[in-house]
Structures are given as C-alpha cells and as structure tokens.
Amino acid sequence: MSSRTSQKAAARQARLEAEKRAKVQDARRKRLRSLVGVILVAAVFVAVSIAASSGSGAAANAATGGRLVGTALSRNLFAGIPQSGTTIGSPQAPVRLVEFADLQCPYCDEYAVQALPTLVKDYVRTGKVQMRFENLSFIGAGSVAAGKVAAAASQQNKLWNFIDLMYLNQGEENSGYVTPAYLQRLLQAVPAINVGQALNASRSPAASAALSSANQVAAQDGISATPSFLIGRAGGPLQQFQPSSLTAAPFEA
C-alpha cells in the first residue's frame, strides 16, 4: 500500500478516535444559538491535523489493482442515511449545505477525509442537515471520467458512497490513475450497487448532462474554486461561504 493511501486510512481512524475523546468535552459546551454556526464550527473542531493529504504521489496501490483504502469506514459512515440523487439526508432537515467539488481536487480530498465524516455523523445522520453534491470536472480528463461514473452512481442513490471512496483513494491529479479499471473497482466497493448498470449509465448522455448542469449551477452561484459551499435554511436563500481552512481552523459562515 502506498504511503499516501496509508496516511488516509490512518487519518480517518485517528479522527474517529479523536471524536470519542472530544465527546466528553463537547457535552459541557453550551449550545450555540445558530444551528448553522454549530455545523460549521463543529465540522472541523474534531478533525485531526495530520498529513492525510500531504503526499503528492498517485494512489498506485488502488489504481493498479491493490486493496482499496477505507471501504469499511466509508460504508459505515453512510449506512442507513437516505440518499436521493445528489443529496443525502432527510428532506425535512432544517439546514441545506451544498458542496461544489472536483473529484481530483486535493483540497476537496482534505475536506472529505477530515471534515466530512463529522458533518455526516453529527448533523446529516441526526436529521439536522441535508447535503447536496455538485460535481465539477475542470481539472482534467480524469475528473470528467470520474464525474460521469459518480453521476451514474447517483442514479442508484449511491453517489456519496462512490465519491467518498474516490477521495479516500485519490491519486495525484492528472497522473493517469483514473482508469476504467480503477473506477470499476470503486463501484464494486459501493454497497448494494449494480455495477454493470452504473457503468452503462456512465456512458449515457445523462451522465454528461449532469456534469454540465453542475457547471451551470456553479456559474449561476458565482463559484470559481473547489471546494466551495453554499449554506442556508431549508426553503430560504443559500449563502456562499468559504472556510479559512479545511482542516486546521473552524469553518466560518
């Protein structure tokens, strides 16, 4: 296993252990007035500041047929949470959070490895937040190929499982690691997905249209970098915000 993928697995395991230790302290903290503020501060409060994404080498082990990293952790993270297309979480959740990301983006990878699990565990799973993923694909051909497979996975309500595995096994951007075999192996690790159906769907016009739609949404909302976020109350306007750091400092709306 490459050192980069080993670091990612260690990062998520360390984050889970840090969560347990932090719960005792968190219970004594006063509840913040704004639920949005709670989400953004807590999202990175328990994140561990380790070099999960500091390596620049490709995820050679996964890309060449070796064992994928983080399959069990990823499966458990999303188990039992309702997904519908590009969204995850209860439709009745009072807060909406939209992420714009490229599946080859290393900064999106940092967020997915260190901050996302806390959001999912504490806010999406508990019905407080519904999240949506807008898949941008500007880095290169690998981004487009992965994005089309992600769009296909969304047709089976498995988008979040697929993109999480992609980030956990992400290689160096535009290094050629995003091959058909690699993408198929990621799909095979997604629980209860029809792999053949997803591969066929990834070659359909609908998959390309999904990427075009995400780009249009990004342009409409003034999104010019990844990862970027929109947040707001359900039924109300969404506000763009950009955290000062994805791993070391609290999110600020």
- pLDDT tens digit string along 51-79? 343 333 335 456 556 789 999 999 999 99
Q: What is the structure's pLDDT at 218?
A: 95
Rg (CA), the chain: 17
CA dihedral sign, ordered 102, 108, 113, 115: negative
Three-state secondary structure call for residue 6: helix
Domain boundaries, the chain: 3-241
pLDDT for position 130: 97
* Residues in Cβ contact with 119 at an 8 Å cutoff, skipping those fewer than 6 apart: 39, 43, 97, 129, 131
Identify the pLDDT of residue 67: 84
Token pair in block for residue 75: 């499966």
What's this model's pTM, rounded to 2 decimal places? Answer: 0.78
Long-range contacts of 236-240 (CB under 8 A, 24+ apart): 238/96, 238/98
Residues of the chain with pLDDT under 70: 1-6, 13-65, 244-245, 247-253
State residue 52's pLDDT score: 40
For 3-241, CATH gives: 3.40.30.10
Map residue 209 onto helix, strand or coil: helix
The dihedral formed by the CA atoms of 95, 98, 32 and 24, expressed in degrees to the nearest 10: 110
pLDDT tens digit string along 222-244?
998 999 999 999 999 999 987 76
Please name which of 154, 161, 162 lies closest in space to residue 85, comparing C-alpha atoms: 154
Q: How far is CA 195 from the centre of its chain?
A: 20
Cβ distance 156 to 176 under 8 Å? no
Q: Select from 216, 8, 230 the least CA-distant residue to 111.
A: 8
